Amino acid sequence: MTVEQCRGARAMLGWSQTQLAETANVSRQTVADFERGAHMPIPNNLASIATAFRNAGIEFIPENGGGVGVRFARPTGQKK
């Protein structure tokens, strides 16, 4: 997850940094420092943030020639 993906996912959900921190069980300062590019969270905290987003229905799009991105995941069972 990139800084931009984190900010974008949070914006899509309408979450504040505090809401994300509480949902991911990390400090708000961890989220703030990550989003402003001050430092990368430790692996466990980054995994918790990513899991919080995935549980809320966010899907991260990896670099695949078109750039990284973020979107709402397709509901289970929905056809393309």
Confidence grade of residue 80 (pLDDT, cut at 50, 70, 90): low
CATH of the domain at 42: 1.10.260.40
Instruction: Answer yes or no: pTM beyond 0.75.
Output: yes
59 occurs within a structural domain: yes
Domain that holds residue 27: 3-72
Is 79 within the bounds of a domain? no
45 part of a folded domain: yes
Note the pLDDT tens digit of each residue in 14-60. 999 999 999 999 999 999 999 999 999 999 999 999 999 999 999 99
| Residue 77 included in any domain | no
d(C-alpha 5, C-alpha 1), whole Å: 6
- CA-based nearest residue to 14, from 72, 60, 68: 72
How many domains is the chain partitioned into structurally? 1
What is the Cα–Cα distance from 38 to 55, expressed in whole angstroms? 26
Residue 78 resides in a domain: no
